[in-house]
A and B are shown apart, each in its own frame.
Chain A
């Protein structure tokens, strides 16, 4: 089980600058076209679930929990990405520092074109 959950990770909160902040309490989600990274996150979820690292049902409940508390300012479509990253850090699969470094590396690689 996740030990934390009550505290947002700073590395994830910094992504808020890049999305439109969520307003209102409803879960209206039908009026946008999903971005390609969203499908990639879903594939990651499937891999983690089938490998037994993070069960889909458990992850979905965590999405609800985290999405309405520590990451409440994020739009609903970002919940899976945030929850997967958050849960893997909670489970000490990797640290926040590792994620920050990896994101820097990935960004540099993708911007090299």
Chain B
């Protein structure tokens, strides 16, 4: 139905999850917003959930998805595990910005 868009980020890129407050349905968890991680994989492009949920299947924003890996010690200031621990989750391109460019 749509051509696959060219991903803006490459594997290895540092990205920051936008710290947007959502008024609509989203699947971007609160605990990763505003945090910086590393792109580890590309995922198949899909309609972003914010549009899919509102039925904009045909004209919804069809964007690349990424696996982003965070260091646990970056996500949680008082993390009780070890330095090596990580967390991975998936983000649509709409939620990501190049690290260091996020607006406060």
Contacts and interface: CB of A to CB of B under 8 A. Distances in A.
Q: Establish whether A and B are touching in the complex (CB under 8 Å).
A: yes
Contacts of B24: 25
B97 interface: no
A61 B57 contact: yes
Give chain B's interface secondary structure class. loop
Interface string B17-48: 00000011111000000000000000000000
Contact of A68 (B23, B26, B27, B55): B55
A14 B10 CA distance: 50
Interface in A56-73: 61, 64-69
A65 B55 contact: yes
Give chain A's interface secondary structure class. helix
Contacts, number: 24
A20 interface: no
A111 interface: no
Contact of A65 (B23, B25, B57): B57
A26 interface: yes
B38 to A, nearest CB: 27
B57 A68 contact: no
A67 to B, nearest CB: 8
Interface string B49-67: 0001111010000000000
A27 interface: yes
A64 B25 CA distance: 11
A27 B53 CA distance: 10
Interface of A: 25-27, 61, 64-69
Interface of B: 23-27, 52-55, 57
Which 5 A-B residue pairings sit nearest by Cβ, starting from the closest? A65-B55, A25-B25, A68-B53, A68-B54, A61-B57
